[in-house]
Structures are given as C-alpha cells and as structure tokens.
Copies of this chain bind each other. A is one copy, B any other.
Amino acid sequence: MAKYTLGIDFGTESGRAVLVDVADGSEVATAVYPYLHGVIDEKLPISDKEVRLEPDWALQDPEDYLRTFQVAIPAVMKESGIDAADVIGLGIDFTACTMLPVKADGTPLCFLPEFHDRPHAWVKLWKHHAAQPEADKINETARRMGLKWLDRYGGKISSEWFFSKVLQILDEAPEVYAAADRMIEAADWVIWQLTGVESRNSCTAGYKAIWSKREGFPDQSYFKTLDPRLEDVVDEKMSRIIQPMGDRAGGLTEQAAKWTGLVPGTAVAIANVDAHVAVPAATVTEPGRMVMIMGTSICHMVLGTEEQIVPGMCGYVEDGIIPGYFGYEAGQSCVGDHFAWFVENCTPASYVQEADHLSIDIHQLLEEKAARLKPGESGLLALDWWNGNRSVLVDVDLTGLLLGATLATKPEEIYRALIEATAYGTRVIVDTFQDNGVPIWELVACGGLPEKNKLLMQIYADVTGREIKVSASTQTPALGSAMFGAVAAGKASGGYDTIYEAATTMAHLKGETFKPIPENQGVYERLYTEYLRLHDYFGRGGNDVMKTLKKIKAEVKHVS
C-alpha cells in the first residue's frame, strides 16, 4: 500500500501544501492558500480603528497560517483522493526569522482584544526592517565584549534576526514584551498548533537566534549588558531545548486533525526553514555540493565536516541543515529582483512592442537577445549591489555600479551584464568557501530562476567553472518538508529513519545540466579579475563613494 507525506511551505504571500509519494517523492497534489492579509506594511487589518505602520515595518497575521492548514491540506486531500490513513507524516518550512510574542498556551498576543491594536503584538515578518538600531546595539555590544560568536555570522547580526526583533519590542512596547510569556519563531509556533507541544528547531535557533549546539545561547551577562530587562530572556521567554532537523515534534492533535482532515496522531516533524529544507530536496546530504536557491535573491547552502570561520557568510550551524554536518549559509540579496528592476525601469518601449509582436515575455526577449552576445562582447562590467551586498562583504550600504557603457550600448547588453554581475557575486562566495576550508565541487540549483532563464544558468556555470545540476522538483521546499515528514514517521510506519535515506529515494535531479564551456570560461576568468578589483576597491574601503552618496542622499532628504 503506497504511503504519503505532506509538506507545507509557508511563503511570504501564501502557504502551499504538497502531497508526496514516499516511495519516489513524486508530487501527487498541490494546493496554494493566498494569505488573506499577506504582508501587512501599511496599517493593521483591524476594523475598529486605524493603526498605521512606520516605514520598514512588515507584519503578518497568525490566522493566515492556521487558514493554510484549514484550506490547503483539505484541498490536496480532496484533489488526490488519497485516504487520510495513508498520510503517515507532515513537515513544514517557513520564512525566517519570522517571529511573534505569544501567551503560555500559545495564543498570539495579537489575538487578544487588549493587544490587537498594538503593532508589536503581531507577527514580525522576515523582511521587517525597522530593528536596525537594535541590531547595531547587539553588534556593538558583542564587539565591545569581544564575543566570539559574532564570527559564526560573518561578523554581523542582521536587523532581520530574532534578538533584533525582540529588542525592538522591548524598546518600543515594553508592556507587550512583559505580557509575552514566549517569544517564538512562527515556524515553531505552527508546529505547536499542530501538535499541542512547544518545540524549537535547531535551524532557526542556530541561524537566527545566535544558538549553537556546543555553546548554546549567548550568556546572560551579554543580554544583561544589552538591556538589564533582557537578562533572562532565554529562560523566561524561550527554551534551551533545541531539537535537531529530522526529529519528530509530536503527533497531530484532535483539533488539528479536524482542521486538516488528517488522522489524529499523524507524525509531525520539527519545523524547518524554506531555504534550508530545500537542501536535501535538491539531493544534497553531503559536503561539497552547494545548493543555490535562486529567486529574487540567492541563498547558498553547503555542508561541511569541520567548523570553519568563513568571512562574510550569513552563518553556520551544526545540525542546522542536515544532522551530523555543519550547515554553512551565504546569500546574495539582489538577483531576480535585479532583472525585474531592469525590466520595469530600463526596457525601452520598442522592446516591449517587439515582445508583444512575438507574443513572448519581455524577459524572454531580453534573454534571447542577450544570448546572441558572446562573453566580453558588450564591454560592460557591473557590481551586483543594487540591494547591498550580503556575502561576503555584509554591507547593506553598498550600491550598484555599471561600467563600460558607450553610445552603442544596447539594453540586452546591460541585461546580460547584470546577469554576469550576479554570477561573479556567486563566484566570490564559492571561492571564499573553497579558500576557507569548505570545498565546493558542484552546484545544485533550485527555485524559480533555473526554469526561467537558461542563459543565466550557463553564465553561472561558465563564471564559476563548475557544473550546475538542477533539482527536478519545482517545489523543493515543500518536497523537503514532506521528506522530513517521512523521517518523523519513521521506517516502521512506512517512512524513513534518516533524511539520507529519504533523499536517496525521494529527491531527484533533472537530466539537463549546465557545464562550463571552456572558451567562455577563459574570457570570464579575465572579466572576473576586473570584477574582483572593483569589488575590493569599492567594497573594502578603497573608495567609500557609495556610502558617501547614501549619506548625502539621507541628509538632503532630511532637509526637505
């Protein structure tokens, strides 16, 4: 009798449920629930008064997550016609750090009448960017105290991460902080709603909340220095019990079974993060093969057997991706977004007409025109910093650069130069890992871009000098979650005992791969040398003009 597991992928705008055959990972049915309130960045979605949000805020409504269970799971069950008894497990993945303050019983503060009009009582979405002063304080304090854990995060804690957001609540709404019995990742909170048991996963704890398997959380003395009221935050509002990836969080409660139509007691895996859960779904459970989740940005993940300090990565966590390995993460903050910006702001009307005439997408037209160019033919070189630089410079104040333009420069040449720039950015990351003891011999891509832009994939292969394989699934996070659901169920119930076994049968690559073309590599090697020189000149203090311009911009805007 065939067995199935469910993967639920909580994205920024919607939740997605995918029902997967445990035997081979084939995707039987998919349903998407578009969140009712989505990203809340203008005003709170409450009817009794108007509460507007400051710039840089981004909240969500926990009810949207529950509705995903209530709508998307029944939908896939219905579509598939599968008996709920044959669904042996369930896993979820989430954006991170996306966190919320809750009561001891798990009730979100924003559900309570006395707090529903307080922005700080709602879920802070990963891209809530209003906690920069708190992040600065966290970093300065750690540097002043000489704390080594900063090195695990490329030397800098982001404003997006857990304690930056917690500290912002404490700073701006101390009564919300006081009323919160628990501060928790939304990933862990939804697992709590399914199982009735609070658990904390090693992935978000490690990558977003400064936890490590060997050293735990930062000392109380650090939190006390940061703010005396924060001294006991871990023991009062969090937990020191952190479970590794692959653990079973518990079984489905009666109530959750009613929401979903599944059988009570169905195995539920510990929570996971969308990017990290994609790694085994892309067939990677061993060192040396870097997974690139390619979309609006790129998230790079690679496993290592040893603890290495690699400059400028986002972080590394033991057991953070696959148990038994150090999971290293790096990132590029502007990839798909880059091309979308270009299309919206720089593509001339004549190209839009041409695309219309050919009945193709404007991206496709640009790709076709750009594909006719040879490496080096445009004479252009760009720095891919339109949204700052995450890895390896960790500097949000860097900005984009385009060099080499002439009066003969065409839009497709700029478009190709932007693609190439992001490829050079990936090359910097790959080389930095390699040079710091985390070898990489192959790249495995997943996400939306590999499907959409084959020129881009070939350029990445040529620039990095590495073969790029592509995940067969177009829903790798959900597949990965379903795989962890199968591990939570275990072999005895028809699943697997380890994620390695699950990956062997459930995860697949496409037949098509992208191999470096030697003559292209030769040209790109020369161009990359030039890229690196500009990268270091503008990115490592040779010329701080980008920061100076930002400073002038801020002053000028302030005066107005």
Chain B residues in 8 Å Cβ range of A556: 374-377, 523
Interface residue ranges of A308-356 to B (CB < 8 Å): 334, 337-338, 341, 344-349, 352-353
Contact A546 B348 (CB under 8 A): no
Q: Does A78 contact B (CB under 8 A)?
A: no
Contact A545 B403 (CB under 8 A): yes
Contact A387 B406 (CB under 8 A): yes
Scan A361-386; emit 1 where CB is below 8 A from any B CB, else 0: 00000000000001111111100001
Q: Which residue of B lies closest to A412 (CB)?
A: B345
Contact B379 A549 (CB under 8 A): yes
Q: Does A215 contact B (CB under 8 A)?
A: no
Q: Does A49 contact B (CB under 8 A)?
A: no
Scan A465-483; emit 1 where CB is below 8 A from any B CB, else 0: 0000000000000000000
Contact B404 A402 (CB under 8 A): no
Contact A387 B403 (CB under 8 A): no
Q: Does A85 contact B (CB under 8 A)?
A: no
A402 and B399 in contact, given A380-B549, A530-B549 (Cβ under 8 angstroms): no
Interface extent on A, as a size class? 35 or more
A407 and B533 in contact, given A374-B556, A549-B380, A557-B377 (Cβ under 8 angstroms): no
A399 and B406 in contact, given A348-B345, A555-B376 (Cβ under 8 angstroms): yes
A399 and B379 in contact, given A341-B407, A349-B348, A527-B552 (Cβ under 8 angstroms): yes
A404 vs B538: C-alpha distance when bound (angstroms): 11
Q: Which of A402, A537, A550 has the most CB of B within 10 A?
A: A402
Q: Does A144 contact B (CB under 8 A)?
A: no
A545 vs B381: C-alpha distance when bound (angstroms): 9
Q: Does A534 contact B (CB under 8 A)?
A: yes
Scan A208-239; emit 1 where CB is below 8 A from any B CB, else 0: 00000000000000000000000000000000
Chain B residues in 8 Å Cβ range of A393: none
Contact B345 A403 (CB under 8 A): no
Contact A349 B346 (CB under 8 A): no
Q: Does A173 contact B (CB under 8 A)?
A: no
Scan A508-523; emit 1 where CB is below 8 A from any B CB, else 0: 0000000000000001
A337-B407, A348-B348 known; 13 new pairs, CB 8 Å cut-off, are A374-B560, A375-B556, A376-B552, A379-B549, A381-B549, A387-B407, A400-B404, A401-B403, A401-B404, A402-B405, A523-B556, A527-B552, A530-B548
30 of the cross-chain contacts (CB-CB < 8 Å) are A337-B407, A341-B407, A344-B348, A345-B348, A345-B410, A346-B346, A347-B349, A349-B349, A349-B353, A377-B556, A379-B399, A386-B409, A387-B406, A387-B407, A399-B405, A399-B406, A400-B403, A401-B401, A403-B538, A403-B549, A404-B549, A404-B550, A523-B556, A526-B548, A526-B552, A530-B545, A530-B548, A533-B543, A533-B545, A537-B537
